[in-house]
């Protein structure tokens, strides 16, 4: 789609991938509304980008998302592109992850996407000009990792939800892509500091070598600008899955082979013949 003159709403827009997607869309002629919980970060983003609008928004709160949508319509009259990008990380051992932390990450990573879709879909449909949703998941939406059960669950959910969403919205001329990046140099590895429990469980963050490896990988990850450019190009090419790390393809293929092997057991069992 030609984004020139179109309006884009981007959550998690104060930094990282969200900020850079906003920058790329602006450079392509779009009117951009950056949304984030971080008011200071939004102010810095506006000072950096210049001709953008910003709105404080907590994606875990549907009323806040609705208020941000209202602000977008008030500023621009229409909205065409919604980037549901805000997200947080969480690690922990099964049986030792506080349920309030579980609820926290589900409310942001999954329900934040849901609220964005439910609030903005009628607004996109109302003008009849078509539109696009980009939902940020992760390679953790395809590959499970120890100690990241809660994070992985939310990202698998975003991938599956987006797959269904694409089928529902295609007749309305609304495209959908799901962004599944690997390691990107953002602050995602620090967002667990905002979890409700406020403390580490069994040394998961402070002492776990695996978590340190993840932090190190993030620090050496792709520049967010590269991911943003690729995301825009993938939207232009109508790619549904947006991947960023060729080296991780083998793990996708390995998972597919494991699924196929276990499915073969069902196929070969006479109880399931012709089912």
Q: Residue 123: CA atoms inside 13 Å, Cβ hemisphere, count?
A: 27
Quote the domain boundaries for residue 25.
7-246
Check pLDDT > 90 for residue 10: yes
Q: What is the pLDDT of residues 35-46, one digit of tens each?
A: 999 999 999 999
Among the listed residues 91, 23, 36, the one whose alpha carbon sits nearest the alpha carbon of residue 65: 36
Which pairs count as long-range contacts for 43-47, CB under 8 Å and 24+ apart, including other chains? 44/14, 45/13, 45/14, 45/15, 45/19
Q: What is the CATH number of the domain that holds 17?
A: 3.40.50.720
| CA 225/CA 3 separation, integer angstroms | 18
Residue 118 placed within a domain: yes
Assess whether 151 carries a catalytic annotation: yes
Q: Contact 12/87 with Cβ under 8 angstroms?
A: yes
Look-up: residue for tokens 């809660």?
Answer: 150
Residue 258 placed within a domain: no
Average pLDDT of 12-26?
Answer: 98
Check pLDDT > 80 for residue 51: yes
At 218, give phi and psi (nearest 5°).
-65, -45
Q: Could you tell me the CA-to-CA distances from 208 to 88, 91, 201 in Å, in that order?
A: 19, 10, 10
State whether residue 143 is helix, strand or coil. Answer: coil
The per-residue pLDDT for 263 is: 95
Residue 273 placed within a domain: no
Cβ neighbours of residue 141 under 8 Å, at least 6 residues apart? 152, 155, 156, 157, 158, 159, 178, 180
| CA 180/CA 85 separation, integer angstroms | 11
Q: Which of 115, 151, 161, 263 is catalytic?
A: 151
Q: What is the pLDDT of residues 173-217, one digit of tens each?
A: 999 999 999 989 988 878 878 889 886 555 555 555 555 667 777
Average pLDDT of 67-74?
Answer: 98
| CA 127/CA 121 separation, integer angstroms | 11
Residue 137 placed within a domain: yes
Residue 97 placed within a domain: yes
Pairing state between β 81-84 and 7-11: parallel
Tokens for 189, please give them.
Answer: 């590895």
Task: To the nearest 10°, report the CA torsion of 189, 191, 193, 194.
Answer: -170
Residue 253 placed within a domain: no
Look-up: residue for tokens 């709403």?
Answer: 9
Residue 78 placed within a domain: yes
The per-residue pLDDT for 161 is: 98
End-to-end CA distance of the chain: 42
Q: What angle do CA 117, 121, 122 make, to 5 degrees?
A: 140
Domains identified in the chain, total number: 1
Alpha-helical (H) ranges within 82-148 are: 99-105, 111-127
Residue 263 placed within a domain: no
The per-residue pLDDT for 216 is: 79
């Amino acid at each position: 789609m030609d984004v020139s003159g179109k309006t884009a709403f981007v959550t998690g827009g104060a930094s990282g991938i969200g900020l850079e997607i906003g920058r790329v869309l602006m450079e392509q002629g779009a009117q951009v509304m950056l949304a984030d919980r971080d008011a200071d970060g939004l102010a810095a983003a506006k000072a950096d980008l210049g001709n953008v609008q910003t709105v404080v928004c907590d994606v875990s709160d549907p009323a806040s998302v609705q208020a941000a949508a209202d602000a977008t319509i008030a500023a621009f009259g229409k909205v065409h592109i919604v980037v549901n990008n805000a997200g947080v990380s969480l690690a922990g051992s099964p049986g030792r992850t506080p349920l309030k932390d579980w609820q926290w990450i589900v409310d942001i990573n999954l329900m934040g996407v849901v609220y964005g879709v439910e609030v903005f879909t009628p607004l996109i449909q109302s003008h009849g000009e078509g539109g696009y949703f980009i939902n940020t998941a992760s390679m953790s939406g395809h590959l499970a990792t120890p100690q990241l059960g809660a994070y992985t669950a939310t990202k698998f959910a975003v991938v599956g939800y987006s797959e269904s969403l694409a089928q529902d919205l295609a007749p309305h001329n609304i495209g959908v892509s799901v962004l599944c990046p690997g390691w990107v140099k953002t602050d995602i590895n620090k967002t667990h500091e905002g979890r409700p429990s406020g403390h580490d469980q069994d040394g998961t963050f402070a002492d776990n070598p695996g978590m340190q490896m993840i932090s190190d990988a993030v620090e050496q990850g792709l520049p967010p600008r590269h991911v943003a450019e690729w995301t825009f190009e993938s939207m232009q090419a109508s790619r549904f899955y947006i991947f960023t790390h060729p080296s991780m393809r083998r793990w996708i293929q390995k998972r597919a082979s494991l699924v196929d092997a276990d499915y073969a057991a069902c196929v070969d069992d006479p109880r399931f013949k012709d089912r």
